[in-house]
Amino acid sequence: MTETPRRSFVKALTWQAMGLVVMTAITWTVTGSAGTGGAIALLGAASGMVTYMLHERAWARVRWGRISE
């Protein structure tokens, strides 16, 4: 039931890639600047990936709510 760190990392990468595209589009629309939109999105993606990894690894240790197969 637990997952490897590598799996958590790949999940974080795919999630952040989707978020990067969405955040770039949103901030570009709001600011009118593709450069600013991309910079904000990259900063958000980097911080989000780190916190997501930490969150996933912490929850991998929690037994609550799991169903044994």
Return the domain boundaries, the chain.
5-59
Q: Specify the amino acid at residue 25.
A: A
CB atoms within 10 A of CB 23: 20
* Burial bucket for residue 32 (CB in 10 Å: 0-12, 13-18, 19+): exposed
Q: Is the pTM of this model over 0.75?
A: no
Q: Return the CA Rg of the chain.
A: 16
Q: What is the pLDDT of residue 41?
A: 87
Contact 62, 48 (CB under 8 A): no
Q: What is the pLDDT of residue 69?
A: 67
pLDDT tens sequence across 26-68 = 999 999 999 998 899 889 888 888 898 899 899 889 988 888 7
